[in-house]
Amino acid sequence: MKLISEVSIGCFNMKHKIKWRNFRIWFADQVKRKVWFRNFFITRNAWGAFSINSHINQHTGKEKVCYNTVESAKKAADSMSKKRNAHFSYYKCLFCDGYHIGKNRDNKISGYDDVKSENVISERI
């Protein structure tokens, strides 16, 4: 399975390939979440992982901070949530071997589960 996402950043044309190995990790992580059905079929946020914007900060054009382990990404998401008073959570990146954190606008809905897909297409950090 090969999915290729191309994106132009400034003058550069970068190619990022989704790694099958990462896809499996990402998928296993997504379906563990309580709101996976919602993430895939209602809000469709889960699909944002296929966008290069899940790996690159749209505003700076730079790669997002990469966490090597789920644990460190979770911790970072927790502290960011407190700091920004908004829900952040982690997600497995399909484009690199790490994890990133992000928030999305749906997180503001009260009662929305704490473990959810964070696809950062709508991220505004």
> Where do contacts with Zn ion occur on this chain (CB under 5 A)?
55, 93, 95-96
Query: Comparing C-alpha atoms, which of 59, 48, 125, 64 is closest to residue 100?
Result: 64
- Shortest gap between Cβ of 23 and Zn ion (angstroms)? 13
Residue whose CB is less far from Zn ion, 62 or 85: 62
Alpha helices in 8-109 (DSSP H): 20-32, 36-37, 70-84
Rounded to an integer, what distance in angstroms lies between the CA atom of residue 106 and that of residue 7?
25
- Residue 68 Cβ, how far from Zn ion at the closest point, in Å? 11
- Neighbour-count burial of 62, counting CB atoms closer than 10 A to its CB (0-12 exposed, 13-18 middle, 19+ buried): exposed
Nearer to Zn ion, 36 or 91 (CB): 91
In whole angstroms, the minimum distance from the beta carbon of 109 to Zn ion comes to 26
Q: Which is nearer to Zn ion, 68 or 79 (CB)?
A: 68
The residue of the chain with the least Cβ separation from Zn ion equals 93
